[in-house]
Amino acid sequence: MSRRLVLGAICASNGAFEAAARRTTALQHRSFTSTPQRNANITHFTPTSSPALDNILNEIRTTIILPSYLPMAQRKKIYSAKWEKKLQADPIIIEIDGEVLKFRYLNVFTDMRSTRRSLMIAISHFETDADFANLKPLLEGLHYAGRKIIQSTYAKVARLVGNKGHIYSIIDCARSVRRTGWKFDNSEVVNEVLHSVQMKAYDADWDQAATMQALRWAEMVVEMLYDEAHQPKRYKDNPPVPGEIPLARDPMVLAAPLHLAAVLVAQHEAGEEVLDKLHKLTGDVVASWPEGKRLRELQPAELYADFDQMGYLLSRNKFITLATPLLHGLETAVKVVKPELASQLQSRCHTLAAEIKEARDSLVPPTENLRGTTLYKKFYDA
């Protein structure tokens, strides 16, 4: 090869190297620089049981979660119509954890569903264990993106997941509250979760292992109520309403693990440890539940005027649904606890039974397909 050809090849090679170096440098300058902790939070979803669900999760990831990793100035551009044509030809490119992402214009009215709607649609498609493995990453991603989810939506999610038999997925998300944002700081959310925990044992025909597992889950929920991360904001910003019973000591909450412990003692002759738990729970319930007071009178009246606090119990159907398993638990406990506790618990049984009957009698027909009616029949008309 001639000297001229060799020099030409070297120059061409150097030119290609320099061009590649310039492209690499440009990409590095355009890449989003973040802390290792922030990189570690990037959301990835694992394959699910259906292409439809995969598409839904991918849509949430690309339109809601990933844009939150952009610096604010760039984030504003992808939502601004005046940047639509420029971004179509020259998208914003960032690199996160080795993944190169391109961002073009997003019309907030046509390209993005609301956070609530996206979350509910995704969870409505969850069926298998593989699907539910994506619940925590989904909540983590939405929390990282700063998306606010109202309490009634959390309650609906808990109910939907519980109905699908995966209530522990919610408990697990609550255990990672700082990453998922799922707090046990609301009565409706907590009682929906505890309801599903009890029904998990009921649906297993009170199998000893399943009921023992349900009791452990209920205890985990109650333990989290003492965690600072789960305390209601109003406890931090404002003092509790005079006479308000904290969730961790609310008889309605404690009656759920009481129910499960009572069944274990009554049906499976559980050991002394479970019997001791039952007596402790019974004593705590009796201490916080004045004789003659109805379940929906235990908290201050002003809390029942606020749907986001205790007002949800004014729905007769919901009240019957949540209170019926608790009544069954109290009645079961009366038969196995010490006589002095049994007599005190019996009076609460009579009060709650009368309150449930009044709610059932006041339901507006037709009532056959109501959740509360169906649930009550499981326990008392079977």
pLDDT of residue 235: 56
Give per-residue pLDDT as tens, 303-359: 999 998 999 999 999 999 999 999 999 999 999 999 999 999 999 999 999 999 999
pLDDT of residue 109: 85
| Mean pLDDT on 270-295 | 97
Residue 132 structure tokens: 């539910």
Q: CA 359, CA 284: separation in Å to the nearest integer?
A: 26
- Indicate the average pLDDT of the chain: 89
Predicted confidence (pLDDT) at residue 8 exceeds the cutoff of 70: no
pLDDT-wise least confident of 16-25, 163-172, 294-303: 16-25
Predicted confidence (pLDDT) at residue 167 exceeds the cutoff of 80: yes
For the CA atoms of 149, 154, 156, 157, the dihedral, rounded to the nearest 10 degrees, stands at: 100
pLDDT, greater one: 366 or 115: 115
CB atoms within 10 A of CB 287: 12
| Mean pLDDT on 190-200 | 98
Predicted confidence (pLDDT) at residue 6 exceeds the cutoff of 70: no
pLDDT, greater one: 113 or 154: 154
| Mean pLDDT on 19-26 | 40
pLDDT cut 70: percent of the chain above it: 88
Predicted confidence (pLDDT) at residue 29 exceeds the cutoff of 60: no
Strands (E) in the chain, as ranges, are 92-96, 99-103
Predicted confidence (pLDDT) at residue 55 exceeds the cutoff of 80: yes
pLDDT of residue 270: 87
Q: CA 346, CA 302: separation in Å to the nearest integer?
A: 28
Give per-residue pLDDT as tens, 69-103: 999 999 999 999 999 999 999 999 988 888 899 99
CA 163 from chain centre, in angstroms, equals 13
Sign, CA dihedral 88-90-92-96, equals positive
| Mean pLDDT on 57-66 | 95
| Mean pLDDT on 197-208 | 98
pLDDT confidence tier of residue 237, bands split at 50, 70 and 90: low
Q: What is the DSSP string of 284-327?
A: HHHHHS-TT--GGGSS-HHHHT-TTTTGGGGSHHHHHHHHHHHH
Predicted confidence (pLDDT) at residue 28 exceeds the cutoff of 70: no
pLDDT confidence tier of residue 234, bands split at 50, 70 and 90: low
pLDDT confidence tier of residue 19, bands split at 50, 70 and 90: very low
